[in-house]
Structure 1
Amino acid sequence: METIAVVDYNLGNLHSVSKAVEHVAPDARVLVTDDHAQIAQADRVVFPGQGAARDCMKAISDHHVEAAVREAAEVKPFLGICMGLQVLMEYSDENGGTPLLDLFPGQVRHFARGRVDDNGVPLKIPHMGWSQVNQAIDHPMWQGIDDQSRFYFVHSYYIVPDDKSIVAATTDYIDPFACAIASDNLFAVQFHPEKSADAGLQLLKNFVNWKP
């Protein structure tokens, strides 16, 4: 039986994520855990997160999961969700600059304020709701998902990776931004697949079946 670890550092939407993974992987063992050994022994790792970057990094430190996350991101199928994408960058603009995990060169920026849509209506921050995801590359994680399918977002910051070749999808809100990255065994998304109906469940199913 395959084991899927959902990393628990008390800042992710753990219940919804784990239940969604269980739904698409009924034959797998899904563990919500902060235990380094269990994460290391798992066949696949899901790294969710939400909230502020500084709080997220503190929680990662307090739960002693940084080393386990780094190892998993290097050697096994790894899915980052929301803040689980952002903290893979070097640093965030939040609070004048918050160091992150630095797995990929790049930064996390706050959406520009004062912008309006085509009808002159102010664009709200955080970006919250359903938005089209424009697939930038052909990838097994997009299998069975139409380009420009809508996914559910809740965030005020977005990633700006230095290496544009890792961008797997973009979304337009205020400005176009990278909403998914892919590199070898790692895939990470800004949106919440566990809240994104059929498209989100398909992405999670693709992750369960992905053999990078």
Structure 2
Amino acid sequence: MKVTIVDYNSGNISSVINSFKEVAQDKVNIEVTSDLNKIKLSDKVVLPGQGSFKSCVEALNKINGLSDTLNEFAIMYKKPLLGICVGLQMFADIGYEEIETEGLGWISGKVAKIDNQNGKYKLPHIGWNQISIVKDSKIFKDVENNSHMYFVHSYEFIPEDKKVILATTDYSTNIVCSVEKENIFGTQFHPEKSDKMGLKIIDNFISL
């Protein structure tokens, strides 16, 4: 089985690569690439993202055909895809960071700035926070409810259909921190930086 981590120059993804390799060991082939053919031939894809919504979308669009290939992979062929941090946010129709930017449009909704209640809550939201699992999912198998996960973000994904929400975290408001729609999974937190429970989510995704 081949799991591909998409490298589209969206910041440092070494911790994502290392944690997937650690979990996979020799059982699964982990490839890091932006090669369209290699992505097409993968069994599963991981879409990381660091920085702003706008910069990640632009980086994705700079690689000719990458958005279409990911669309084909996830929407047409319905193969498992995991978005991490801005990787999840890009599932949205639109993002409002810096300027209004179109997302991939896989899960209807928008990405907006966290309401920090006039400075009462610090942005970005950085560090460990508990997650509340609201729905059973294969990627949360054997992950305890109220586990602590590691976050770094100032913007949140607000999906139109609340049925896609897997987990939320409480920071100023109830923030969506994980989603699932058929074969598409996403976490706002960084499983690769979230210790044993984060590695368990990675393991669950690889084992789907």
Kindly tell me: are residues 12 and 204 of structure 1, through their superposed partners in 2, closer, same or farther at Cα, counting changes over 3 Å?
A: farther
Counterpart for residue 173 of structure 2? 175
CA RMSD of aligned residues (A): 1.2
Counterpart for residue 107 of structure 1? 110
- The TM-score, its normalising length taken from structure 2, stands at 0.94
- What SS class does the counterpart of residue 133 from structure 1 fall into? strand
Q: Which amino acid aligns with 2:91?
A: L
Give the Å deviation of 1:90: 0.7
Give the Å deviation of 1:111: 1.3
1:92 to 87, 90, 95: 95
Cα distance in 2 for residues equivalent to 1:173 and 1:166 = 20
Cα distance in 2 for residues equivalent to 1:66 and 1:177 = 27
Cα distance in 1 for residues equivalent to 2:184 and 2:96 = 24
**Which stretch shifts more, 35-44 or 4-13?**
4-13
- What SS class does the counterpart of residue 98 from structure 2 fall into? helix
Give the Å deviation of 1:105: 1.1
Answer yes or no: is the 8 Å Cα contact 2:177–2:189 preserved in 1: yes
Counterpart for residue 157 of structure 1? 155
Kindly tell me: are residues 183 and 60 of structure 1, through their superposed partners in 2, closer, same or farther at Cα, counting changes over 3 Å?
A: same
Counterpart for residue 78 of structure 1? 81
Give the Å deviation of 1:115: 4.7
Give the Å deviation of 1:13: 3.6
Counterpart for residue 23 of structure 1? 22
Answer yes or no: is the 8 Å Cα contact 1:108–1:160 preserved in 2: yes
Counterpart for residue 119 of structure 1? none
| Runs ≥4 residues deviating over 6 A | none
Counterpart for residue 57 of structure 1? 57
Q: Which amino acid aligns with 2:41?
A: Q
Counterpart for residue 42 of structure 1? 42
Q: Does 1:198 align with 2:196?
A: yes
Answer yes or no: is the 8 Å Cα contact 1:12–1:48 preserved in 2: no
Deviations 1:142-195 (A, max 9, x none): 111100101000000001000100001101101001111101111101000000
Residue identity over aligned pairs, in percent, reads: 37
Answer yes or no: is the 8 Å Cα contact 2:54–2:99 preserved in 1: no
Q: Which amino acid aligns with 1:68?
A: T
Q: Which amino acid aligns with 1:32?
A: V
Cα distance in 2 for residues equivalent to 1:40 and 1:105 = 24
Cα distance in 2 for residues equivalent to 1:16 and 1:148 = 23
Cα distance in 2 for residues equivalent to 1:13 and 1:191 = 16
Counterpart for residue 69 of structure 2? 68
1:137 to 130, 135, 138: 135
- The TM-score, its normalising length taken from structure 1, stands at 0.92
**Tell me, which stretches of 5 or more residues in structure 2 are unaligned?**
none
Cα distance in 1 for residues equivalent to 2:109 and 2:144 = 28
- What SS class does the counterpart of residue 169 from structure 1 fall into? strand
Cα distance in 1 for residues equivalent to 2:135 and 2:155 = 23
Cα distance in 1 for residues equivalent to 2:190 and 2:200 = 12
